[in-house]
Structure 1
Amino acid sequence: MKREELIELGKKIVACEGAEEEIDLLYEEFNKNVPDPDGANLFFYPENYNARKDNIADYNPSIEDVVDKALAYKAIQL
């Protein structure tokens, strides 16, 4: 899936329009097309988010930033 397609998919995920099953399918589609294991969760929560110490109100990335981060992920090679 191309970056532009992932951005459009991200817009639908962030809008949260549709039934829960439809949104779940959008999440699944996004996650299977990016290498980052956090995938679509990055639209709503920063990487390594800790509810006890992090202020979620400070997290407001653009859809493009999330897509770029999810595409740029590289697993640690041991």
Structure 2
Amino acid sequence: MLGHLPPGLIAFHGHIQTIDPFWHMLGLGYQGKTTFSDAESAAVVHFNGRANPWLHIAFPHLRPLWAKYLDSSDRFIKSCQIRAS
């Protein structure tokens, strides 16, 4: 059973298209062999898995994909001690 609905499974009545799997990159929290360039070229990146980019166990080469959206000046973010790099 899926815990989420990947964009690759979306279909509209009478209109079904094959979507390149690189369009939606799943599992960036457990696929350490994913290259930064492959993930950066995807339209949607999904950090599911145990090594999410804000944790100390994150894959360092994938962390910048997430960190560029982090507002480090936010008071809440500061209090969470989230790692951006």
TM over 0.5: no
Higher percent of residues as helix: 1
TM-score (norm 2): 0.28
Larger radius of gyration: 2
Higher percent of residues as strand: 2
TM-score (norm 1): 0.30
Higher relative contact order (CA 8 A, sep 6+): 1
